[in-house]
Homo-oligomer: A and B are copies of this chain.
Amino acid sequence: MATSYQHQKAGDLNFLKRLNRSAILEMVRRVPGLTRADIATQAQLTKATVGSGVQSLLNQGWLKEGDLQKSSGGRPGRALHLNDDRHYLLGAEVGVHRLRLVACAPSGKVLEALHEPFVPTTPESTAALLAELLQQLMRSPAVAQRENLGIGVALPGPIATGDAVLRRAPNLGWQDVRFLDLLHPHLPELKGVWLMDNEAKSAAFGELYFRTGKIPESLLYVSAGTGIGSGLAEGSHSPLLTRGVQGLAGEIGHTILQPGGHYCHCGNRGCAETLVSGWSIRATLGIDEKDDLIQTLEPRLQEPEVTLTLRRAGEALGMLLLNLHHTQNPAEIVLGGSLTQLGNTFLEPALTYFEANQHRLLGTTQRVPLRVVEDSTFVAARGAAAQVLARAIHGPELS
């Protein structure tokens, strides 16, 4: 249930063993079908060490053996795979207008999902509602016979490292909420990892951690919804998230993009959110808080006023992306959040601006891919589940 992260400086033999087991598990997770010999080569371990480590992971049900591989002149190796049938992870996102829940297999496959509209209330009643939905999810047949590894909750506001407090969620009207402490009494039987994190950071983590094939060395997730935030995940083995001392890292909605510009709800002037965000688009077009932004705008996309507003917002987003490129320089940028549903009127100016300017400093040597998530509904919830898995693999759970 603790979320603090112990910075490991020194270690004993047990630590070394766990380190090696984790490394093996991560490698097979990332590259399904790896053989013991492949692992020994890549991890710089001996065949014997890998053999015993794999055996123990097989016994614990983390791995399973697959087919024999094609021989390359000698005895063929046996393929190893993550055992995707034994465990599951719970991930939830408390959004501004929605609760989203997933149960994931260790591979990241979504086993069951729930998507409930909700009107923000107190943290306490939200926790009660979420607990009820989680229990509903856990009773579903695809999940019920698996072993749970823990639960992760993604929230729309800054959360500092090592302290499970949501400092402020302006769009929920919450402040200093220890959400896990509120949720735990409703789910006392739920053991394993308990964690909470910022929504964009969970999303970034999940997009990187559940990736297979060629894995970028870092990934930035930009979440464009009512507000706008970002998360940076780095490192392929077990990605690290940049949270900042106060959890404010990624609060890009409040970076200044137009000095002396409009007032933001934070009290400052010219914040990026005054140019791109659900609330600023609402304000510009006079759309009521109670109406769904996307549904309201969909039939009005041809109106010149709407087109102009979305184009301007899109261009501001492009600048914001370029600023992140020149501040954090991630290997890949992923764009998600409800505003991506506004389509090309909004997205095209952002993508165009970024493409036109990303090579200003170094020429066209290496392109940073910018990808728009097709459906970002469960990205943050799935990301929180990914964080649970990472914690389980690298924590004391693995014996």
Contacts and interface: CB of A to CB of B under 8 A. Distances in A.
Interface of A: 7, 9-13, 15-16, 19-20, 23-24, 26-27, 43-45, 49, 158, 161, 167-168, 216-218, 230, 234-237, 242-252, 254-259, 266-268, 315-316, 319, 322-331, 357, 360-362, 365-366, 368
A202 B267 CA distance: 36
Contacts of A237: 7, 9
A258 B116 CA distance: 41
Contact of A248 (B23, B249, B251, B325): B325
- From A13, A245, A316, A330, name the one whose CB has the most chain B CB atoms within 10 angstroms: A245
The count of identical subunits is 2
A230 B366 CA distance: 22
Contacts of A9: 23, 26-27, 43, 237
Contact of A329 (B235, B248, B267): B248
Contacts of A24: 10
A interface, by DSSP: helix, strand, loop or mixed?
A: loop
A35 to B, nearest CB: 16
A256 B323 contact: yes
A71 to B, nearest CB: 26
A19 B26 contact: no
A323 B323 contact: yes
A216 B246 CA distance: 12
